[in-house]
Amino acid sequence: MACAAGRASADANKICQIRAELRFVSIITLIIGTNRPGNNSRKVASHLEEIYAELKVPLRVLDLAQLPPEIFFTGFLRRKTKGIPAVRRRGSAFGWVTRRHAQFNGGMPGVLKYFVDRLKFPESFERRPVCFTGVPAGMWGALRPVEQLQTIFGYRNAHLYPERVFLPQINNLLDASGRLKNAELIGRLKAQAGGFTDFVERLKNVKLRGAKS
């Protein structure tokens, strides 16, 4: 059924709107919050993709390393930058957000802050459930950047899932193939994914498990 236009039925338009909303709410977006080549966040994200697949929860991945490079070569406030409209559309289409990110100089990667700043305000994160996992090389588990992000998302009126996962000294936690070696840490990621799914389903009164992507 095509959405109605012009003088077409208001009821038909309402049905189209409901269908769009139903498609929207059934997706969790996994954001890989760094663009460093060969980053470990991408490796951890692979585990999360498998975990959500086991839960039968639709998941899409947004890797900031895949952002169009031209967005970094023009003025920040210019709204006609090539590539940005598509990035904004993807950001505005987020359902529920789970973030995997590194730590640079005690803070979040610059590309992640830049990405958040370019998203449409306020609807990109307004009332969206979010959760966080820190993937740093250092010993503190990316605690500071996670807390920075929680402050930003709190300001953007997101719903913060309280159970965070920290993977300190990530280079020591991965095997030669880039897989996590510690079964306990994998268990924490599974618990976070399951808990976050429950959190979203209760908060938004939707069913994610078994939903079509």
What would the pLDDT profile of 70-127 be if each residue is shown by its tens digit?
A: 666 655 445 544 444 444 444 443 445 555 555 556 678 888 888 888 777 777 888 8
Mean pLDDT is lowest, of 13-17, 111-115, 189-193, 206-210, for 13-17
DSSP assignment string, the chain: -PPP-TTS-HHHHHHHHHHHHHHHHT-EEEEE----TT-HHHHHHHHHHHHHHHTT--EEEEEGGGS-GGGGSS-TT-TT-TTHHHHHHHHHT--EEEEEE--BTTB--HHHHHHHHHS-TTTTTTT-EEEEEE--SSTTTTHHHHHHHHHHHHHTT-EE-S--EE--SGGGTB-TTS-B--HHHHHHHHHHHHHHHHHHHHHHT---TT---
CATH class of 25-204: alpha beta
Q: What is the pLDDT of residue 109?
A: 80
Q: Is the pLDDT of residue 59 over 60?
A: yes
pLDDT computed for residue 123 by the predictor: 77
What was the pLDDT predicted at 75?
Answer: 57
> Is the per-residue pLDDT at 190 higher than 90?
yes
Which pLDDT belongs to residue 11?
45
* Residue 17 pLDDT grade (very low, low, confident, very high; cuts 50, 70, 90): very low
Distance of CA 71 to the CA centre of its chain: 20
Domain boundaries in the chain?
25-204
Q: What is the pLDDT of residues 132-186, one digit of tens each?
A: 999 878 776 678 888 988 999 999 899 999 999 999 899 999 999 999 999 999 9
35-47 per-position pLDDT tens digit = 888 889 999 999 9
**pTM for this entry:** 0.76
pLDDT at 19 > cutoff 50: no
